[in-house]
């Protein structure tokens, strides 16, 4: 496969994963804001997904609709869902012959839907959840079409690499921001509702109840989001999938590149797997999360260097 094509597929997939993550987070946060008697701050959401200046974040942190419009339909915000979908589509367009026609149509329809003016208008005056749901459904349509129609060849695996790398980064980011709001404390003093909505926003609440019964404390939260092999948004699951997809790229023709990346991914995977809550108490959660994030970024850089270097 052409390096340029692999690069475009990888980014298309990352943008789609990111847009899905953002939409789910926004949906739950908005619902939460309707539930609370005290005002809910959108600052953590803005911290995870936007490069807005801190002062501006504080300015709009209590204005749900302004934040929703900014995060979904704003053209200036490079991480708005609108721009992410446009980017994903632009990437797909440049490699149209390498994705199935169905998948291309799916992205194309999503793009045309989100570009309509009434998205922004509805976010301003109607029920935002309906708007977000209709977009999330588009995303699900994309994921389904991706799984059902794409041939299990290199392109598919590069897309998976993008998807799981992005997901791992997101999960680390979400933990980082949410825990930084409580000073990375591992003590069990935080309001359980706070954790409940965190889990809801990454579709992990039901699994959590089944796995840990009802104890909504920070230890169980970390267990679920970092180490739960059965939770599709946990860091270990994402890294594991990343590793599996990567292993399919092995061939005689690129053994050097393969070895270099294989070592990095393998090291990260075991590092996560063989760390426990006890180690976090010893070395600090903040340090640990930042270390994982740094390694994920290093893996992304290595892909650029070894697999996508077409310049």
**Min separation Cβ 301 and other proteins, Å:** 16
| x/- map, 144-163, other proteins, by CB under 8 A | ----------x---x-----
Q: Is 101 in the site for other proteins (CB under 8 A)?
A: yes
Q: Is 288 in the site for other proteins (CB under 8 A)?
A: no
| x/- map, 4-43, other proteins, by CB under 8 A | x-x-------------------------------------
The first and second tokens of residue 17, run together, are 């994963």
Q: Is 90 in the site for other proteins (CB under 8 A)?
A: yes
Q: Is 254 in the site for other proteins (CB under 8 A)?
A: yes
CB nearer to other proteins: give 118 or 294. 118
Q: Is 259 in the site for other proteins (CB under 8 A)?
A: no
**Min separation Cβ 291 and other proteins, Å:** 29
**Min separation Cβ 179 and other proteins, Å:** 37
Angle in degrees, CA 152, 156, 157, rounded to 5? 100
Site for other proteins in 48-77 (CB under 8 A): 75
Query: What's the Cα-to-Cα distance from 189 to each of 13, 183, 192, 194, rounded to whole Å?
Result: 38, 12, 9, 11
**Min separation Cβ 53 and other proteins, Å:** 23
Query: What's the Cα-to-Cα distance from 231 to each of 199, 222, 238, rounded to whole Å?
Result: 11, 12, 9
Q: Is 137 in the site for other proteins (CB under 8 A)?
A: no
Angle in degrees, CA 249, 254, 260, rounded to 5? 85
Segment holding 289, helix H or strand E: helix 285-306
Closest by alpha carbon to 89, among 118, 115, 71, 68? Answer: 115
Q: Candidates 43-51, 105-113, 144-152, 262-270 — which segment interacts with other proteins by CB under 8 A?
A: 105-113
Q: Is 120 in the site for other proteins (CB under 8 A)?
A: no
Q: Is 214 exposed, middle or buried (0-12, 13-18, 19+ CB in 10 A)?
A: exposed
**Min separation Cβ 261 and other proteins, Å:** 12
The first and second tokens of residue 238, run together, are 């994402």
Site for other proteins in 232-251 (CB under 8 A): 249, 251
**Cα distance between residue 153 and residue 248, in whole Å:** 9
Q: Is 215 in the site for other proteins (CB under 8 A)?
A: no
Helices 128-149 and 117-125 meet at what angle, rounded to 10?
A: 140
**Min separation Cβ 72 and other proteins, Å:** 18
CB nearer to other proteins: give 202 or 249. 249
**Min separation Cβ 252 and other proteins, Å:** 9
Closest by alpha carbon to 262, among 303, 221, 217? Answer: 303
Are the CB atoms for 306 and 261 separated by under 8 Å?
Answer: yes
**Cα distance between residue 91 and residue 202, in whole Å:** 26
Q: Is 95 in the site for other proteins (CB under 8 A)?
A: yes
**Cα distance between residue 8 and residue 2, in whole Å:** 10
Binding region for other proteins (CB under 8 A): 1-4, 6, 75, 90, 93-98, 101, 104-105, 108-109, 112, 154, 158, 249, 251, 253-254, 307-308, 310-311
């Amino acid at each position: 496969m052409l390096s340029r094509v692999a690069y475009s597929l990888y980014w298309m997939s990352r943008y789609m994963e990111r847009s899905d993550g953002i939409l789910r987070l926004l949906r739950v946060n908005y619902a939460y804001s309707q539930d609370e008697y005290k005002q809910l701050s959108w600052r953590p959401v803005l911290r995870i997904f936007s490069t807005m200046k801190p002062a501006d974040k504080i300015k709009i942190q209590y204005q749900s609709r302004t934040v929703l419009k900014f995060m979904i339909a704003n053209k200036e915000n490079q991480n708005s869902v609108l721009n992410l979908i446009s980017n994903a589509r632009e990437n797909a367009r440049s490699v149209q012959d390498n994705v199935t026609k169905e998948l291309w149509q799916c992205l194309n329809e999503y793009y045309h839907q989100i570009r309509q003016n009434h998205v922004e208008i509805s976010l301003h005056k109607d029920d935002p959840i309906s708007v977000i749901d209709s977009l999330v459904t588009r995303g699900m349509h994309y994921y389904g079409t991706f799984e059902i129609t794409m041939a299990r060849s290199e392109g598919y695996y590069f897309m998976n690499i993008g998807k799981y790398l992005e997901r791992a980064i997101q999960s680390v980011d979400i933990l980082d921001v949410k825990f930084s709001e409580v000073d990375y404390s591992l003590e069990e003093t935080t309001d359980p509702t706070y954790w409940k909505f965190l889990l809801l926003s990454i579709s992990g609440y039901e699994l959590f109840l089944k796995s840990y019964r009802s104890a909504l404390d920070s230890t169980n939260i970390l267990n679920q989001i970092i180490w739960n092999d059965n939770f599709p948004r946990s860091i270990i699951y994402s890294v594991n999938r990343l590793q599996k997809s990567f292993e399919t790229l092995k061939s005689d023709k690129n053994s050097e590149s393969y070895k270099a990346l294989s070592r990095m991914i393998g090291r990260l995977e075991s590092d996560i797997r063989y760390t426990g809550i006890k180690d976090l108490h010893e070395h600090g959660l903040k340090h640990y999360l930042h270390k994982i994030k740094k390694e994920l970024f290093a893996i992304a850089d290595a892909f650029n260097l070894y697999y996508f270097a077409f310049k």
